[in-house]
Structure 1
Amino acid sequence: MKRDDPMEFHIALTDTSPAPGVIQDALFDMDPGVVVDLDMSGLVMRISSIVGTPDLVQVLRQTGWEVAPKQIVQLPSICCGGCGG
């Protein structure tokens, strides 16, 4: 399920975590505007996307990263309203 406003998700990295670029490429077909990076500590992957949590979990698992929904922290919408959306 996709949302209209991007949501930010934080996921603690594990031994099996792929690189941010792998996740961004995997999510691109569902959300061409997806942004994936690491926080300043390098221990948390940040994902900004309109993809909902169930679809996010599915894509992460397709990359080989076995993430449970409870591992994903969803932050409030990061939409600034600047695009008029």
Structure 2
Amino acid sequence: MEFHVRIAGQPDLGAIESQLFGIDPAALVDHDAASCQLRISTVAHPRELAEAIAAAGYHVTAADIELQPSVCCGGCSG
């Protein structure tokens, strides 16, 4: 699943990834400074995602986390 997460400032992506890797070792995190959002691909659920980001030192709420529509065409596993 892909999520966009509103977050203030310049987040430490390594710290966030480190927390997420405990849940999903294949998670991907990047930061779009123009929109002040993290883009995160993970199998983690929104609650787990918020907890991982909080453990990295950043406060986010459920309203800050937006699930994106799937872009999966099914070609990889079908």
Q: For this structure pair, what is the TM-score category when the shorter chain's length is used for normalisation?
A: 0.7 to 0.9
2:20 paired residue number: 27
TM-score by length of structure 2 reads 0.81
Return the match for 1:70 from 44, 63, 67.
Answer: 63
Return the match for 1:9 from 3, 6, 9.
Answer: 3
- Superposition map of 1:43-62 within 5 A: 43-62=36-55
TM-score by length of structure 1 reads 0.76
- Structure with bigger strand share is 1
Q: Distance in 2 between matches of 1:76 and 1:32?
A: 22
Q: 1:30 to 1:78 in 2, by over 3 A?
A: farther
1:36 paired residue number: 29
Q: Where does structure 1 lack aligned partners over 5 or more consecutive residues?
A: 1-6
* Aligned residue-pair number: 78
